[in-house]
Amino acid sequence: MIPFSVLDLSPVIRGATPGDALRNSRDLAIHAEGLGFHRYWLAEHHNMTGIASAATSIVIGYVAEATKTIRVGSGGIMLPNHAPLVIAEQFGTLASLYPGRIDLGLGRAPGTDQGTARALRRALGPSDDRFPEDVQELQFFLGPQQPGQTVRAVPGMGTNVPIWLLGSSLFSARLAAELGLPFAFASHFAPDLMMKALEVYRTMFRPSETLDKPYAMLGINVVAADTDEEARRLFTSQQQAFWNLRRGAPGQLPPPVNTMDGVWTPMEKAQVDHALSCAVVGSPDTVREGLAAFIQRTGADELIITAQIYDHEARKRSYTIVAEQHAQLAARAAA
């Protein structure tokens, strides 16, 4: 059975603080480790009052310090916002403190609005222009010292922190294939090109020192509860938050509602349903069969599961149900 992992946006629920969200993230990571999840990744977003993981490398350290075995990493670091040397030093430091447990997922979007991107970068240009070179420069700084090399990442040099490329289009699929890197696709919010990106990545893949064959991880929304009805109610928090983001009014994660009727129009519902179509929402049986169908359809090598749930204990319960269904699927596969 393929591994299951966790993608955490460190949600700040309505009326709470970023500190509350970060403490919840650490608690969820401890819980996920106990359940047997493979990785725990955090995402870089800026100027969003509902997401607390902007300083992603710091949050990774906070989570890694509280756990013992689960891999902890970025899903991802938005590399155009940073100099490769700075990221090499940050993740080299993390790898030195928590050896064998740190992942470095890289994206090329700003993770924010254009005004904030300008404040982060000082100058804006197409992210495609330098991204491939920046990825390779980062690999260089994390690799062994080369003859005549005078600029080094300390810590960082020689740590060979595993690099992943993240994407929601074909660009990163092609680049990951060309560089022989593992690839993670953001199907949890951008499903349209998922199957095409997988095809491009798998057919164009070139083996490297890092990886001898393609390895694709897919994002999927999973909200699990004891009944289908309760899971659908919990999912309304994410539906509301996603629509607020789409209409340019992002905020803290709202509490669930019993029905979305009157909250959105039929057209808005259709747009959100489409964007969040890679989602499994329901009871344990619904979740097990939905995950099995998604794996069969995509041939994913790993799933990274995200759950934007208002109540922290309900979010932990959701991941518990997922872990239980993962065990059942593994038993089914072994039979």
**269, exposed or middle or buried, with CB in 10 Å at 0-12, 13-18, 19+?**
middle
Q: Percentage of the chain surpassing pLDDT 70? A: 96
The rounded mean pLDDT for the chain is 94
Reported confidence tier of residue 121, pLDDT bands at 50, 70, 90? low
pLDDT over 70 (residue 303):
yes
Length of the chain: 335
Average the pLDDT over 40-66 and give the result. 96
Reported confidence tier of residue 226, pLDDT bands at 50, 70, 90? very high
Average the pLDDT over 216-222 and give the result. 98
**Parent domain of 153:** 4-334
- Write the DSSP symbol of residue 329: H
Summarize pLDDT for 136-178 with one digit per residue, the tens. Answer: 999 999 999 999 999 999 999 999 999 999 999 999 999 999 9
Assess contact for 267 and 29: CB atoms under 8 A.
no
pLDDT at residue number 126: 56
Average the pLDDT over 109-133 and give the result. 70
Alpha helices in the chain (DSSP H): 18-35, 56-66, 84-97, 114-121, 131-142, 170-179, 194-204, 228-246, 266-275, 284-298, 312-334
Average the pLDDT over 18-32 and give the result. 98
Sign of torsion over alpha carbons 243, 249, 255, 259: negative
Query: Given the structure tokens 């509860």, which residue do they identify?
Result: 225
Average the pLDDT over 4-21 and give the result. 97
The pTM of this model reads 0.95
Label residue 15 left, alpha or beta by phi (over 0 means left) and psi (-120 to 50 means alpha). Answer: left
- CA–CA dist 33, 37 (Å, integer): 6
Assess contact for 101 and 60: CB atoms under 8 A.
no
pLDDT over 90 (residue 120):
no
Read off the CATH number of the domain in which 124 is found. 3.20.20.30
Number of domains forming the structure of the chain? 1
Q: Percentage of the chain surpassing pLDDT 90? A: 90
Number of alpha carbons in the 13 Å side-chain half-sphere of residue 302: 20
C-alpha angle 256/55/45, rounded to 5°? 50
pLDDT over 90 (residue 127):
no
pLDDT at residue number 263: 86
Summarize pLDDT for 247-281 with one digit per residue, the tens. Answer: 888 899 999 999 999 888 899 999 999 999 999 99
Average the pLDDT over 304-313 and give the result. 98
Label residue 195 left, alpha or beta by phi (over 0 means left) and psi (-120 to 50 means alpha). Answer: alpha
Lowest-confidence pick of 205-209, 281-285, 331-335: 331-335
Average the pLDDT over 63-81 and give the result. 96
- CA–CA dist 70, 100 (Å, integer): 10
pLDDT at residue number 110: 67
pLDDT over 90 (residue 99):
yes
